[in-house]
Amino acid sequence: MARRGGQKLTVTPELLLKAYASGIFPMAEAVDDPQIFWVDPTDRGVLPLDGFHLPRSLKKVIRRDRFTIRVDTAFAAVVDGCAEAAPGRENTWINGQIRDLYIALHREGFAHSVEAYDSERLVGGLYGVAINGAFFGESMFSRQTDASKVALAFLCERLIRGGYTLLDTQFITDHLARFGAIEIERKTYHVLLQEALAVAATFYPAGAGTSDSVLQLFSQTS
């Protein structure tokens, strides 16, 4: 159940898609809180795809093929990785209901994961929701240094080549700011959102998803 205006609301995958298209997203107070609530930030974090910055140090990691990057092969495991406790993140907002909702969206083709592997061990990744030309980044995790950062670079390459125009990060962090993420006002975000929802895009563009393709696309960044 979700809380909004003091009323309880049953959340379905269809309702969740409508919420994203309206500019709001769900969270829980804690992993063991059975309820969720809706968030509509006054200032919204976005990562402009035409301004994505790939740090030089991360280019070296990608060039060495330190991680194997896969897409949509372990979605539930990525969500669970994002929900687990970590240093500086003892509690998360992903409860059981939210987990089930995103897994349902993944089965319907609206939610995707980018996964980083060391050999066959999942060591990092991220997931989010895709609607037309908008990608709503939900969460990321890392069990090895740089794993989630490399996954983010591969995500951005995929979005750019696939024709997406909006990467919503919800909030801004120092980690995301390093890649070019910025904060914009709610009204500006809604304009960008409506523009993105009118765009046809694909999460599986031809030629994307290799270390060479990522480095080639971002070769002009420093």
Residue extents of the structural domains in the chain: 42-217
pLDDT at 87: 61
Q: CA-to-CA distance for 125 and 191, rounded, in angstroms? A: 29
pLDDT for 4: 45
pLDDT mean across residues, the chain = 92
Of 3.30.1490.20, 3.80.30.20, 3.40.630.70, 3.30.365.10, the CATH number of 42-217 is 3.40.630.70
The set of residues, in sequence order, having a beta carbon less than 8 Å from that of 48 and lying 6+ positions away, is: 167, 180, 182
The pLDDT assigned to 36 comes to: 87
**Three-class secondary structure of residue 54 per DSSP:** coil
Q: Could you tell me the pLDDT band of residue 161, with boundaries at 50, 70 and 90?
A: very high
Determine the Cα–Cα distance for residues 219 and 211; give it in Å rounded to an integer: 12
Tokens read off for 71: 């897409």
Task: Using the predicted structure, report yes or no on whether residue 1 has a pLDDT greater than 60.
Answer: no
Q: For residue 69, what are its two tokens?
A: 């990057």
Q: What is the pTM of this model?
A: 0.92
- In tens, the pLDDT along 171-211 reads 998 889 999 999 999 999 999 999 999 999 999 999 999 99
Q: pLDDT confidence of 54, banded at 50, 70, 90?
A: very high
Q: pLDDT digits over 112-136, tens only?
A: 999 999 999 999 999 999 999 999 9
Distance CA 115, CA 71 (A): 6
Residue range 62-86, pLDDT digits in tens:
999 999 999 999 999 999 999 987 6
